[in-house]
Homo-oligomer: A and B are copies of this chain.
Amino acid sequence: MPDRVLVPWQENLSAVPEGFDGAVFDGRGEPEDLSDVVFYVMPYGRGQRVDLLSRMPRMRVCQLLTAGYENAVPHLPDGVVLCNARGLHDASTAEHALALILADRRDLPRWSSDQREQTWNPHYTRSLAGSRVLIVGHGSIGRALEARLAPNECDIVKVARTARPGQGVHGIEDLHALLPEADVVVLLTPLSEETRGLLGEKELGLMRDGALVVNVARGPVLDTAALLGQEGRIRAALDVTDPEPLPEGHPLWTAPNVFITPHVAGGSDTFYPRARRFIDEQLRRWGNGEPLENVVLEG
């Protein structure tokens, strides 16, 4: 029996190299015998099953559809090449960040609530135009957001771990000096010991009345208790929270001027065609003996 390639979507079967058996596993139900799987693409979303990895003793490549890969590592058989989905979520995440900024500036949650009460009660809102937006973290998602902000007549200020003066990027040591001038602060850093609690009581205290924090990074980059302590002085639009999922009864749900979306930034429709194309390309490279993209571990 030939070695098997397991892909999440029917569309990828045609890219399976000759000499291999292709099969679809989309994460639902229990897959059949996995002992002959050599290339495994882990399904995205709720179908992520790291427990299956240890049932594929012959696996040589494991392709994830998330940027994070810490969860998979302990389950990998020895000698596997692990690839992540770096770049595939950029457009979706940057678009959601823009949606959250605009939702807050233009009071969309308020209009949604007025609609439910069948109340027509206009007031003039804040705007993105004329605002200063501070992007904290300037990797590929930060650049995708910057491109989307550019035509909106706002000032864009960028901060990353290390200053890149040629690209107009400040170092993180400038954060405290930049916060008082920002109308919108967007968190886009990975979570690490350096970034945990990056926006805490002191940093939120430096921000203007009515300024907005957008978190599309990871929940703990923003200190939840410190945000609650602002009692609405600082506005927030959060796609990620700490804790997550946010349990019923948590004070963040009802905090004034806080809008929450349930960690959906990265996975909108625009992700799927990109992911399918990327899988096709990886299979092509693998079949041709070319180096794979997005290798994060070679076991």
Contact = CB atoms under 8 A, between A and B. Distances in A.
Contacts of A103: 99, 102-103, 108
A123 B111 CA distance: 22
Given A108-B261, A109-B112, A245-B120, A130 B270 contact: yes
A273 to B, nearest CB: 7
Contacts of A111: 259-262, 264
Interface stretch (A26-34, A144-152, A155-163, A197-205): A144-152
Contacts of A106: 95-96, 99, 261, 264, 268
A48 to B, nearest CB: 13
A118 B262 contact: no
B91 A264 contact: no
A254 B271 CA distance: 31
B128 A95 contact: yes
A155 to B, nearest CB: 13
A249 interface: yes
Nearest to A260: B115
Interface of A: 45, 91-92, 95-96, 98-99, 102-103, 105-109, 111-116, 118-130, 147-148, 150-153, 244-250, 253-254, 259-264, 267-271, 273
Given A124-B264, A125-B268, A130-B269, 11 more contacts: A91-B129, A103-B108, A106-B261, A107-B264, A118-B253, A120-B244, A124-B269, A125-B269, A128-B270, A129-B270, A148-B152
